[in-house]
């Protein structure tokens, strides 16, 4: 082959490789969150320990996307929770391998996004967005009251689900999620609507859980809002949870604030569960989150957790959170 032909062939291969790279890609990413401290549940004993996921549950993920042309994009996400303090997978023993998210998707700027598989619920997203401690299962009163206090059932992610996210129109957004029963009881479904403009944001979510013979049926309605004044960002959310199996009703109220200080933020959150039967719960958390870089931050938090009829649970810890 002549030298000129070799050069031309190499140029064509290089252009094809660049085009393929631009049209599709696969990304490895994740987060490690580890802390040390003393943790005490109401009525329990204080335990000093190293803990994973106090501010954000550790995980590793893979995602990919392909440009199909005409404004249509295909993609996938596979994300697994981790417990790096013990070198184990999942949030707990027996947790599914890809319990965070595992779906295939089609997306269009004009028509929105459709995801099929295991999807994070709109209720979980709204709860983490509208509180000062985000998705902290260790310290956020809002997350703990909604997902680990016997109120809402059905987990923060639904298997066998179809999630539709509508395209944003101005400041408005919304979506619908349905999880098929597949012979394990009724189906789950939920819907959400949101609005954001300037420093203001708000959300309304409804979900009904009926899937699973051993899972209580619940109906949850949540409204939430935040406003960023610059010098401080205020958060508020209110949820009503009706357990149609046990015939109990729970009112969940949460307010919080995040105040920028230096390269970090002072955080405070108050939450209360008022139960129609059984014990009420009040939780207050204060903390400070300091950014070392865009990917790494360190934090410290103190939480007082009170359940009617039991001694208070006082927990505190300090940790590091690194994204990759």
Domain layout of the chain by residue ranges? 26-34+49-323
Quick check: 65 pLDDT over 50? yes
Identify the band that residue 298 occupies on the pLDDT scale cut at 50, 70 and 90.
very high
Mean pLDDT of the chain, nearest integer? 93
CB 151 within 8 A of CB 245: no
pLDDT of residue 123: 98
Residue reference for tokens 């934090």: 299
CATH pick for 26-34+49-323 out of 2.40.160.10, 3.40.50.300, 2.40.50.100, 2.120.10.30: 2.40.160.10
Average pLDDT estimate for 233-259: 98
CB 118 within 8 A of CB 80: no
For residue 259, how far is the Cα from the chain centroid?
22
Quick check: 62 pLDDT over 70? yes
* Backbone angles phi and psi of 294, in degrees to 5: -65, -25
Quick check: 168 pLDDT over 50? yes
> The whole model's pTM is what?
0.91
Average pLDDT estimate for 176-194: 94
Is residue 136 classed as helix, strand or coil in its secondary structure?
coil
Rounded CA separation 221/64 (Å):
34
Quick check: 9 pLDDT over 80? no
Average pLDDT estimate for 94-110: 96
pLDDT of residue 23: 54
pLDDT of residue 255: 98
């Amino acid at each position: 082959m002549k030298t000129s032909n070799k050069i031309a062939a190499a140029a064509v291969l290089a252009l094809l490789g660049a085009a393929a790279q631009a049209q599709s890609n696969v990304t490895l990413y994740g987060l490690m969150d580890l802390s040390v401290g003393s943790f005490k549940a109401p009525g329990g004993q204080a335990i000093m320990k190293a803990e994973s996921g106090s501010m954000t549950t550790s995980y590793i993920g893979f995602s990919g996307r392909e440009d199909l042309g005409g404004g249509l994009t295909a993609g996938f996400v596979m994300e697994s929770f981790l417990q790096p303090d013990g070198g184990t997978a999942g949030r707990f023993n027996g947790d599914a391998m890809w319990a965070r998210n595992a779906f295939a998707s089609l997306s269009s700027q004009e028509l929105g996004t459709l995801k099929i598989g295991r999807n994070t619920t709109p209720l979980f997203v709204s709860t983490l967005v509208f509180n000062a401690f985000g998705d902290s299962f260790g310290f956020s009163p809002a997350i703990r009251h909604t997902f680990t206090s016997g109120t809402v059932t059905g987990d923060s992610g639904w298997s066998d689900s179809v999630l539709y996210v509508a395209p944003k129109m101005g400041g408005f957004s919304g979506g619908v999620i349905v999880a098929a029963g597949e012979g394990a009881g009724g189906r789950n479904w939920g819907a959400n609507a949101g609005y954001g403009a300037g420093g203001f944001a708000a959300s309304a979510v409804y979900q009904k859980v009926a899937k699973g013979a051993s899972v209580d049926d619940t109906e949850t309605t949540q409204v939430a809002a935040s406003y960023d004044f610059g010098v401080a960002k205020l958060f508020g959310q209110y949820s009503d949870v009706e357990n149609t199996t046990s015939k109990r009703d729970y009112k969940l109220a949460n307010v919080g604030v995040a105040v920028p200080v230096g390269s970090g933020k002072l955080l405070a959150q108050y939450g209360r569960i008022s139960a129609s039967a059984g014990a009420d719960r009040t939780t207050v958390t204060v903390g400070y989150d300091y950014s070392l870089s865009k990917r790494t931050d360190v934090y410290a938090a103190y939480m007082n957790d009170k359940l009617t009829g039991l001694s208070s649970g006082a927990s505190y810890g300090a940790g590091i959170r690194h994204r990759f």
